[in-house]
Structure 1
């Protein structure tokens, strides 16, 4: 009788374990309501809740600085038995490597990084594709031929986006210069608005950005000029200025990762999806003329079909040196380590 009791007890325990929801955590570098980067990652988290229901439990912590504080947060989730932990900022990389090695029973995914461990993978999107498309709009709509770009940090991710945007601008208007000002922030609305205003003061009649707040868009609206956002549709913040934005859609990718963890097929891959995979795209507002919007959609399809790449040669850098000749295009390794500006960018990599 005792053996039978133990047998059924084991079955009940196993069933309970199988029924336990997957615990998934997200760590954000900015407020979840920033209207940009963290908002879109949180939309991906909400997508998981809609798709998986009571099969998962999700949690998040917002506004976590990169560095020692982030390590404490990652460690805390791992200690509480979270199965899958997403870190959504480049500067979390060292912390995630360290914590993942200390907690091999948890799975970690780092956004925009390049380091992996046995239980740490990386993921990102080919944002340079819609960045190029947004450059087509900017180049077609500027009148002063001066475009301002408020940039976050001088890392390859940001540099690559600036260059892709500038290539799009150059594609339709070789006379335009893209002026870069560094804010050295991911989310600091006051500082980012001030940086945008400094670009407006030199004659820029269009502002774009690589930060998480809509502040540069609002600076453009205040001055009566156009803007191109980032991360999401920011038209609500600057309805008379906002033309377009390269945007993220993390939901399907997060679903893919969760399913792999659930069925035991997860690997520490380094994922880099583009428009074709649905991770990135471009949002175009009604302020963009039909002819320009049609060009954008035509070039978008060419990118999806593999017929065009934003860095197809010839590509020259600021010094005039030929980086990619006619018919050449960069490798992924070259894109991921980009540390130079194309020839129509004004500014230094500091």
Structure 2
């Protein structure tokens, strides 16, 4: 005997969104999925999409894709193969995303850390990593004994410069004698170069290493040298358990699941979001027992204040490196300034490469 639906149940069923049977989702990665950094965290999120939707999605990815012609070719092939939404997961893919998107207006494109939005089918998403770097800067300023912090930087783009400034400001706020030495490696993932940079910084007296690169090499160098370091993007503590203090976590899964669901329900629209600690996109690896209890409490209080909107890491007074005013007392940096920042703050003696 067939079971009949009640009127209420029938109405509810009719009102529920109808999901596409199988949605094809593509990911374009700048590095290898095994970098344990940036690309690794995006791939964790890809797997979370599969776990969320099961047979309702079919995901694919291409790793170590260069900017320019290589990226255009990969995204074009994805679009031609019927991919419904493509996530391009690196800053430098901006021109490539918009070029390909113009050719495939029925495909949804999402560009991580991007700023170019020329087509109605290109969405942008970013994380406020500077919030996390403010916290680790505070910890570094409190814990350095040589007053020298080494920073391994990838490319001189606003995202990286912003992070250096945020970490330095918060280290300087609790330790007026702190110095930051920055080494640029011009790569997101190059273990050999990152290791050499860490060794050079240690020779210069750094007893804490920070990085905006993706390999675990700086951490292992730090542990071999008996100094402290912060991980990047994922929990890297297993690679240097004695040296790893904490690290910023890139948490992409909720955003990816939300955007894929929107495609399946036919509600996807190109957005432009910049999420942070309060949104759960920026997190922290477990804090080491090496961090003193009072410093840990201060770091946790800063995290809570940022999440509550009570504190912004770029709050004046702040001058530019050359001493000219940037932010007045109590003034908060507008997002437009941060997204285009091309200068160091006062006190950093390194130069930004041109």
Normalised to the residue count of structure 1, the TM-score between the two structures is 0.93
Query: 2:247 matched to 1:245?
Result: yes
Query: 2:282 matched to 1:280?
Result: yes
1:324 to 323, 327, 339: 327
1:148 alignment partner in structure 2: 150
Q: CA deviation at 1:264?
A: 2.0
The CA distance in 1 between the partners of 2:283 and 2:337, in whole Å, is 22
Within 5 A, what are the aligned runs for 1:243-322? 243-283=245-285, 284-322=287-325
2:123 to 121, 124, 139: 121
Decide which moves more: 318-327 or 202-211: 318-327
1:13 alignment partner in structure 2: none
SS in 1 for 2:233: coil
2:193 alignment partner in structure 1: 191
Asked whether the 8 Å contact 2:20–2:265 carries over to 1, the reply is no
The C-alpha deviation readout for 1:138-188, integer Å capped at 9, x for no partner, is 111100101000000000010001111111211211210111110000000
The C-alpha deviation readout for 1:22-66, integer Å capped at 9, x for no partner, is 000111111101011011001111111111111111111111112
SS in 1 for 2:315: coil
Q: CA deviation at 1:68?
A: 1.1
2:206 alignment partner in structure 1: 204
1:5 alignment partner in structure 2: none
2:168 to 166, 169, 173: 166
Q: CA deviation at 1:282?
A: 2.1
Give the count of matched residue pairs. 334
Distance 1:56 1:176, change over 3 A: same
The C-alpha deviation readout for 1:246-272, integer Å capped at 9, x for no partner, is 111100011111122122222211110
The CA distance in 2 between the partners of 1:285 and 1:78, in whole Å, is 45
Asked whether the 8 Å contact 1:207–1:228 carries over to 2, the reply is yes
SS in 2 for 1:243: strand
Asked whether the 8 Å contact 1:176–1:344 carries over to 2, the reply is no
The CA distance in 1 between the partners of 2:57 and 2:214, in whole Å, is 28
Q: CA deviation at 1:19?
A: 5.1
Normalised to the residue count of structure 2, the TM-score between the two structures is 0.92
Gaps of 5+ in 1: 1-16
The CA distance in 2 between the partners of 1:177 and 1:280, in whole Å, is 26
SS in 1 for 2:232: coil
The CA distance in 2 between the partners of 1:18 and 1:197, in whole Å, is 53
Distance 1:207 1:71, change over 3 A: same
Asked whether the 8 Å contact 2:19–2:265 carries over to 1, the reply is no
The C-alpha deviation readout for 1:317-344, integer Å capped at 9, x for no partner, is 2212221111101101001001111123
